[in-house]
Structure 1
Amino acid sequence: MLQANLEMGVIGNGSFGALIDRHARVVWSCLPAFDGDPAFCALLSPRGHDGGDFAIELEDYAGSEQHYITNTAILRTVLRDAHGGQVEVIDFAPRWRRNDRFYRPPSLIRRIRPLAGNPRIRVLARPLADWGARVPECTWGSNHLRWLLPGFTLRLTTDVPVRFIREALPFVLAHPMELVLGVDEPLDRSLASYAQEAQQRTEDYWREWTRYLSIPLEWQDAVIRSAITLKLCQYEDSGAIIAAMTTSIPEAPGSARNWDYRYCWLRDAAFVVRTLNRLGATRTMEDFLRYIFNLATTDGSLQPLYGIGLEERLDEHEVPSLAGYRGMGPVRRGNLAWLQRQHDVYGSVVLASTQLFFDQRLNDPGDVHTFARLEPLGERAYALHDVPDAGLWEFRGRTAVHTYTAAMCWAACDRLAKIAVRLELGERATLWRERADHIRERVLARGWNAQRGHFTDTLDGTHLDASLLLLADIGFIDADDPRYVATVEAIGHGLRRGDALFRYVAPDDFGAPETSFTICTFWYIDALAAIGRMDEARALFESVLARRNHLGLLSEDLAFSDGEQWGNFPQTYSHVGLITAAMRLSRSWQEAS
C-alpha cells in the first residue's frame, strides 16, 4: 500500500530519477531518462499486472525510518520487523567527476545490510514495459537478470542469489548484499567494492556541491534539501530543468487535473535562473541558460514548454494501462499545453537571458550577437502584449489579455533596454525603453481597477489572481506603491484560506479549484515581506515548511483541509519558492553575530 501524503524520497544523477517510498520500494522511475517509459510505475497503479516496483520486502514488517545522508542525494531507509530485526537500505544514483566529465549512468545502486536480529527479506524486481501494459521478457545468468524494455535493456547485477529474485523467495539476510540496476553492461570488478566506492564518491560529489552553495543563516536544512532537489530535476545532456519527475498525480482528489510534468516550462525559467544565481550554483545555472538560449534563437516564436531534448511536439495521450495515483485517473502522457499561446514566456526567457550580460562569472557572457538573437523575442512580446492568450495557468477553454502576461511582455522590453545600455547600443536602448514605457502605461491604466481597489487578473477585469503578486518582483511596480500594497492585501482577503492560497477562485475548464498552488503561497510570503509585514511572512513560511513530507520535499499543491500534498512530485517550482522565501526572510549573518 502506498503511503499517503506523497511520503517518498527522490534520488537521481542528472540522467534519470527515482522515487522511493517509506517501505524502500522504488515506485516510480522513467528509464533511461526523465521522459522515458516508466519501468517502475507502481505509483500509478498498473492494471492487470503485479509489479512495476523494485522492493526490499521485510517479513513481519513493523515500521521504518528514512532520511538522507547529510547534504547528499543518498537515501537511507531502516526497516524494522516485529521481532527486533532491522535492515538498512542505502539507495543512490552514482555521480562523480571522471576524466573531466561527470560519470552519471542511468543506474540505481541499492545496498542492503542487516542491523539487528535475523531479518527475512524478499527482493522483488518487477519492471513493466509500455507504460505498465506488459511484463517484459527476462533473461538471466549466474549473477544478473536482464529485462528487454522498449529501446533499453535493463540489467540487474547482484550477489543476491538470482533464483531468489526470479521466484521472489524469502531468505535470511545474514550479511550485506548489493544490487546494481542499470545499463546492460557486465561489471568487470568486485560488486561489493564497486558499490562501496560508488557510494563514497557520490557522497563526496554531493557534499562538495552543497559546500559551495550560498545559503541563508536560517532554515539551512530546508534550503539545502530544496537545492539538491532542484539539481536532481536537471537533465544534464541538454541543461533542461523539468517541472517534476512524475505525471498525472492529481492536483486534488478525483479532480481529473492530472498532467504530465516531465518537461521544461519556460514560464519558470527566470525564477529558476535567479534562484540558482542566489545559491551560487553557477554551473547548473549556465547549463540551464544554455538550454533556454537554444530555444530562444530560432525564429523568435516560443511555446510554453519543451521536452528535455528540445522537443517541440509533446502530443498528449491517455494511458489506459495505468489506473492512476490511488486509482484516480486518467494517466496522461505528453501535455497539450505545448499548443497553447502563452505570451508571458517571452518575458520569462528574456529575463532569464539577462543574466548572460550582467554576470561576470559566466564562461560565455552575452555580447552584441547574443543581444541580436534576443531582440526577436522582444518584437514578439511587444506585438503580443495586448493579444489574448491562455495565461500563466494554461486555461484550456478561454483566452483573455492577462495582466501578468502583459507585465511580462513589458519585462522583455525593459530588460532589452537595459542590456542595450550595457552594450552601449544607444538607438536600440531608446527603442526598447519607449516600447516598455508604452506597455507599462497601458497595463497601469487597464490592469488597475479603481472601483475594486486592486489590480485584476485581466485588463479591464474584476477578478484576483495570485500572479499579480509578482508585479513588484519583476520590477513592474515598486513594492511600496499603494496600488501594489492594496493588491497584496486584497489577495490575502480573497485568495487565502488558512495558511495557503488559491491561484484563483473563479471556475475554470475543470470547475472551481480545490487545493492551493504551493508556489502561490511562497509568492504571497515574499509579497508580505516586501510590503513590510515581515513577522506575518515568517510565521506563514514556517507553516508551509511544516507541510513538507518527512524528507523535506514538496509537491505542487496542498489541500486546505488537512495540508496533504497533491500534484506532481517533487515540484521544482515549489522548491524554488522555498529557497527564494528563505533567503528573503532569514536574518543576516551580521544580525546573528
Structure 2
Amino acid sequence: LRDAAFVVRALNRLGATRSMEEYIRYVFNIVSAEGDHEVGPVFGITFERELPEREAEGLAGYRGMGPVRIGNDAWRQRQNDVYGSVVLASAQLFFDQRLENPGDARTFERLESMGRMALRMAEEPDAGLWEFRGRAAVHTYSAAMCWAACDRLAHIATELGLTDRARYWHDEAVALHERISARVWNERLGHFVDAYDGEHLDASLLLLADIGFVRGRDPRFIATVDAIGKALGRGDYLFRYIAPDDFGTPETSFNICTFWYIEALAATGRKRRARQMFEHMLSQLNPLGLLSEDLAPGTGEHWGNFPQTYSLVGLVQTAMRLSRRWEDEL
C-alpha cells in the first residue's frame, strides 16, 4: 500500500486504465477491512496481513551478499505515509473521466477513514519510507503524506459538492501543514530535514514539491534540492541516504531516488541538467530495457532486487515530466 500512489500514477501515464482501476479496487478492499485502525505497509496478494520473515541459512546470496530473506517483516512496521498514498491513489477515481466506475459520495465516505488515520498518525514516530528496523522518528515524508491525504480529501469533497466536508478537510490540512513546516525546516542549515527537529537529509524530501507540499520554485525547496545533490549525489547517481542503516553504510545509489532528483531538477527549472542525467540513466538499462533496484556509481553495475518495479516507475514518471508538450513542437 505504501507505494500505491506511485503505481497508480505510472499506470495512468501508461494509459493502462483498466489495470489502474483494478489495482485501486484491490487497495480499497484492504483499507475497507481495516476501518479506523492502523494500516500496515505491505499485504499479501490475497490480503494476508502477516508475512513472517525468515533467513534461508543455506543460501549465501548473490556474490555472498546475504542474508537471503523469505517473507517481509515490514508488515510489523508502522509506516505512516501509507494513508496519504492510499488517498492519492484513490483520488483518481473522482477525477479521471475514462473510468467505468467512478467514485461517488459513498466511496468518499469510505476513504475518509484514511484521512482520520492520517490526522491521528501524522506526527507519530514511524519506520519511514526506507523501513528502518533499528530506529523510529517523525519522518518528514510520512508527515507530509498525511497532509496530502487531508488536502486531497478536501479537493475530492469539493468535486462532489460536499461543502461541509471540503471545508473540514481543508482546515485540517492547513493546520497540519503549519505544524509540519515549523518542525522540518532547519533554519541553521537552510534546508528541509528528514525528520522533526532533525539535521539530516534523505532523498524522500525531493517529493515535497511533487505531492504539493511546497511549490517547485519555492526557495526552500530549491535549497533542499541543492543540498541533497551535494550530500547524496555521486556523479549522475543519487543515494537515498548516506547514514549507516541496518545493513551498514550504503554503497550503491538507489535508482528511483536518481529519478526523483531528475524530476526535482526539472521542477526547479534546471531541465538541461535533468535531461543529461535522464539520458545517462537510459544508457544503464539492460538489453531487455530493465533496471535493478540499485546501481554502483563507480561501474554502473546493477545491484539489489531485479527487475525492480520501483525503478521502472521512476523511469516512466520522469520521462513524462521531461516530455515536451505538443504545443512546444509546433
Fold-level similarity (TM above 0.5): yes
Indicate yes or no: 2:75 matched with 1:356: no
How big is the alpha-carbon RMSD for the aligned residues of Structure 1 and Structure 2? 1.2
2:319 alignment partner, SS class: helix
Q: Which residue of 1 aligns with 2:234?
A: 497
Indicate yes or no: 2:115 matched with 1:382: no
Q: Which residue of 1 aligns with 2:153?
A: 416
Q: Which residue of 2 aligns with 1:278?
A: 13
Indicate yes or no: 2:269 matched with 1:532: yes
What letter is aligned with 1:574?
S
Q: 2:63 aligns with which of 297, 311, 326?
A: 326
Could you tell me which runs of 5 or more consecutive residues in structure 1 were left unpaired when the two chains were aligned. 1-265
Indicate yes or no: 2:174 matched with 1:428: no
Q: CA deviation at 1:332?
A: 1.1
2:62 alignment partner, SS class: coil
Q: 1:288 aligns with which of 20, 23, 26?
A: 23
Q: CA deviation at 1:590?
A: 4.3
The whole-number CA distance in structure 2 between the counterparts of 1:425 and 1:486 is 38
What letter is aligned with 2:13?
R
What letter is aligned with 2:279?
E
The whole-number CA distance in structure 1 between the counterparts of 2:95 and 2:144 is 22
The whole-number CA distance in structure 2 between the counterparts of 1:269 and 1:484 is 24
Q: CA deviation at 1:321?
A: 4.0
Indicate yes or no: 2:108 matched with 1:371: yes
Q: 1:313 aligns with which of 45, 50, 57?
A: 50
What letter is aligned with 2:16?
A
The whole-number CA distance in structure 1 between the counterparts of 2:210 and 2:324 is 20
Q: CA deviation at 1:327?
A: 3.9
2:211 alignment partner, SS class: coil
CA deviation vs aligned residue, 1:102-145 (integer Å, no higher than 9, x gap): xxxxxxxxxxxxxxxxxxxxxxxxxxxxxxxxxxxxxxxxxxxx
Q: 1:546 aligns with which of 283, 286, 291?
A: 283
Q: 2:72 aligns with which of 312, 332, 335?
A: 335
The whole-number CA distance in structure 2 between the counterparts of 1:571 and 1:392 is 16
The whole-number CA distance in structure 1 between the counterparts of 2:252 and 2:64 is 19
Larger proportion of helix: 2
The whole-number CA distance in structure 1 between the counterparts of 2:225 and 2:64 is 38
Q: CA deviation at 1:425?
A: 1.4
The whole-number CA distance in structure 2 between the counterparts of 1:329 and 1:278 is 36
Aligned residues, how many? 328
What letter is aligned with 2:277?
L
CA deviation vs aligned residue, 1:534-573 (integer Å, no higher than 9, x gap): 0000000011111111221001001111111111111111
Larger proportion of strand: 1
Q: Which residue of 2 aligns with 1:574?
A: 311
What letter is aligned with 1:288?
Y
The whole-number CA distance in structure 1 between the counterparts of 2:256 and 2:45 is 22
What letter is aligned with 1:350?
V
What letter is aligned with 2:266?
A
2:117 alignment partner, SS class: helix
The whole-number CA distance in structure 2 between the counterparts of 1:442 and 1:346 is 18
The whole-number CA distance in structure 1 between the counterparts of 2:7 and 2:282 is 20
Larger Rg: 1
2:295 alignment partner, SS class: strand
1:393 alignment partner, SS class: coil
User: What is the 5 A alignment of 1:100-139?
Assistant: none
The whole-number CA distance in structure 1 between the counterparts of 2:298 and 2:121 is 40
What letter is aligned with 1:381?
A
CA deviation vs aligned residue, 1:280-312 (integer Å, no higher than 9, x gap): 110111111111111121223310111111111
Q: Which residue of 2 aligns with 1:396?
A: 133
What letter is aligned with 2:31?
A
The whole-number CA distance in structure 2 between the counterparts of 1:592 and 1:285 is 30
User: What is the 5 A alignment of 1:440-459?
Assistant: 440-459=177-196
Q: Which residue of 2 aligns with 1:178?
A: none
Q: TM-score, normalised by structure 2?
A: 0.97
1:523 alignment partner, SS class: helix
The whole-number CA distance in structure 1 between the counterparts of 2:221 and 2:328 is 29
The whole-number CA distance in structure 1 between the counterparts of 2:303 and 2:245 is 19
The whole-number CA distance in structure 1 between the counterparts of 2:66 and 2:211 is 37
Change over 3 Å in CA distance of 1:430–1:592 after alignment to 2: closer
The whole-number CA distance in structure 2 between the counterparts of 1:427 and 1:590 is 39
1:305 alignment partner, SS class: coil
Q: CA deviation at 1:586?
A: 2.4
What letter is aligned with 2:85?
S
Q: CA deviation at 1:583?
A: 1.2
Q: Which residue of 2 aligns with 1:344?
A: 81
The whole-number CA distance in structure 2 between the counterparts of 1:307 and 1:563 is 33
2:247 alignment partner, SS class: coil
The whole-number CA distance in structure 2 between the counterparts of 1:422 and 1:588 is 27
1:326 alignment partner, SS class: helix
Indicate yes or no: 2:188 matched with 1:473: no
Q: CA deviation at 1:276?
A: 1.2
The whole-number CA distance in structure 2 between the counterparts of 1:419 and 1:487 is 30
Q: CA deviation at 1:510?
A: 2.1
